[in-house]
Amino acid sequence: MNFLSTRGGKKVTGAQAVVKGLSENGGLYVPEVFPAFTLDDLEDMLPLNYPERAARIISSFLDEYPAEELKDALVKAYSKFEGDDPAPLVRIDDGVYILELFHGPTCAFKDMALTVLPYLLRKGCDICGIKEEILILVATSGDTGKAALEGFKDADGVKIMVFYPNEGVSKMQKLQMCTQEGSNVNVVAVKGNFDDCQTAVKEIFASEQKAEELLKRGVRLSSANSINFGRLVPQVAYYFSAYLDLVSSGQIELGEEIDFTVPTGNFGNILAGYYAKRMGLPVRRLHCASNLNKVLTDFLSTGVYDIRREFYKTTSPSMDILVSSNLERLLFEISGRDEKLTAERMKELKENGIYSITKQELEKINEVFDGGFATEDESVEAMFGVFEDTGYTMDTHTGCAMKVALDWFEKNRKDETKMVIVATANPYKFPQDVLYAVTGNDVKDSFKGIKRLHAATAMEVPKSLLTLRDKPVRFTKVVSSRSLFDEVLEFLG
């Protein structure tokens, strides 16, 4: 299958899209066509395990990759997860389910893709005949950074550098990144917020001069952010798997439509659900959940995307984002795949901080998407309410999604469509905030928070988080967003 850039230019193969990450003009790669899955295809996938299901989905896009080799790579990747199922579905109420995506090595949903991406990238280089060393640059709001670092540590022919907002991640997220092991990794804090990190990294990718300078050093750039299609496509798989699990367990009939509520920052997670729907998965609606940084909620309501607003630091830091990069892929689709119009809107956003879509385009989006948000107090109330009623503990991002789902239930009381709420992180990644939500107690130390949260919930503590206390901190540098490329050159030596 070939891939197009949302901003025009030459078509590329799937392997090229994965290796490049971002097109030369700053556009994001999208499939030339969406693979079609019929109900018969879904029925055939019912008896498969998760890696086998994921292999079917990924192969339908990346057909250059040897199918059996891909499946073996997925089996190896998901063997790093706790338990038999990398993405278990938990029923918490009649017609309400939690899709747990936090059982991987770094306890966040990013592991679902970033344990797979190293294989996709290495194999992609082989397919494309690329011999240069690959440098992966990552801007992170917390979870992507650690998951990428863990996925690529000590990988042959690859170096990885992660930038995160210095005051914009949780203590546990920061500790996970700054204690990262591996001879090929580097982590740098940036003064500012995630959007500052993301913009600076995108500018490096968009600069021909910087690319040439790196090539002189025998280095090619790639990305592990969800702007890379290799990051996005494994995420499509868990929407299919969740649906198939509902069918297998007798919760729904094959062909019955369901809804998903997704906590959303950079729009990649929920976009994967949209791709699944476009491929034929019976998804009725996608509910986009935001925190106080509700730029997506406002956009889905008005059709105006406006980042000229106050930025909030919240207890759900992975959603503290104003520029949602993957929304560009949706804009491309609803505009009729108009590459010039998409490029104009992205230019307008960069130069003026605002763009708008037509009434017809908004109506098209609203056929599938709606948005809501949770304040800090509302997220706490949702987390406490579910814990008190069911004993289920969720993290702060999933708490925002629960609030949005509850709002939907309140407004649509006769709606009997099954709802899957996507849980994106283990509660122990945010122990103090989750402890406060479920008990009202407040502690300053993260590890005390873990101990007390365990006492209150009896939820098993991931070993990867418990061992963080004893790991040495390797990375302490804090820089301006203007000096990121200088840091890159210093890292390469």
Residues 6+ apart with CB under 8 A from 254: 39, 42, 43, 247
Reply yes or no on whether the pLDDT at 46 is more than 90: yes
| CA pair distance 343, 26, nearest whole angstrom | 9
| CA pair distance 307, 326, nearest whole angstrom | 15
Residues 273 and 185 in one domain: no
**What is the structure's pLDDT at 31?**
98
- Per the prediction, the chain carries an average pLDDT of 96
**What is the structure's pLDDT at 301?**
98
Residues 273 and 170 in one domain: no
Contact 262, 270 (CB under 8 A): yes
| CA pair distance 381, 493, nearest whole angstrom | 50
pLDDT in tens, 157-197: 999 999 999 988 998 999 999 999 999 999 999 999 999 99
Reply yes or no on whether the pLDDT at 141 is more than 90: no
**What is the structure's pLDDT at 300?**
98
Q: Where does 62-170 have alpha helices with state H?
A: 67-78, 111-114, 117-128, 143-152
Does the residue 106 lie in any domain? no
Does the residue 154 lie in any domain? yes
| CA pair distance 110, 106, nearest whole angstrom | 8
**What is the structure's pLDDT at 270?**
98
Q: How confident is the model at residue 55 (pLDDT cuts 50, 70, 90)?
A: very high
Residues 216 and 253 in one domain: no
| CA pair distance 219, 214, nearest whole angstrom | 5
Residues 224 and 290 in one domain: no
Q: Is the pTM of this model over 0.85?
A: yes
| CA pair distance 88, 242, nearest whole angstrom | 8
Q: Supply the CATH number for residue 373's domain.
A: 3.40.50.1100
Buried b (16+ CB within 10 A) or exposed e, 3-37: bbbbbeeeebbbbbbbbbbbbeebbbbbbeebbeb
Reply yes or no on whether the pLDDT at 75 is more than 90: yes
Residues 142 and 14 in one domain: yes
**What is the structure's pLDDT at 225?**
83
**What is the structure's pLDDT at 142?**
79
Phi/psi of residue 315, nearest 5 degrees = -80, 0
Residues 305 and 357 in one domain: yes
**What percentage of the chain has pLDDT greater than the value 70?**
100
The total number of structural domains that make up the chain: 2
Task: Tell me 223's DSSP state.
Answer: E
Residue among 142, 188, 163 nearest 430 (CA): 142
Residues 130 and 158 in one domain: yes
pLDDT in tens, 396-450: 999 999 999 999 999 999 999 999 999 999 999 999 999 999 999 999 999 999 9
Residues 338 and 380 in one domain: yes
Beta bridge partners of 423: 100
How many other C-beta atoms lie within 10 A of the C-beta of residue 199? Answer: 15
| CA pair distance 106, 18, nearest whole angstrom | 22
Does the residue 350 lie in any domain? yes
Residues 194 and 273 in one domain: no
Residues 187 and 255 in one domain: no
pLDDT in tens, 202-230: 899 989 899 999 999 999 999 888 889 99
Does the residue 222 lie in any domain? yes
Does the residue 62 lie in any domain? yes
Does the residue 300 lie in any domain? yes
| CA pair distance 348, 306, nearest whole angstrom | 11
**What is the structure's pLDDT at 72?**
98
Residues 279 and 343 in one domain: yes
Beta bridge partners of 418: 258
| CA pair distance 386, 382, nearest whole angstrom | 6
Residue among 358, 297, 277 nearest 37 (CA): 277
Contact 103, 427 (CB under 8 A): no
Contact 450, 443 (CB under 8 A): no
Give residue 449's domain range. Answer: 248-460
Does the residue 16 lie in any domain? yes
Residue among 261, 302, 253 nearest 403 (CA): 261
Residues 403 and 445 in one domain: yes
Does the residue 465 lie in any domain? no
**What is the structure's pLDDT at 362?**
98
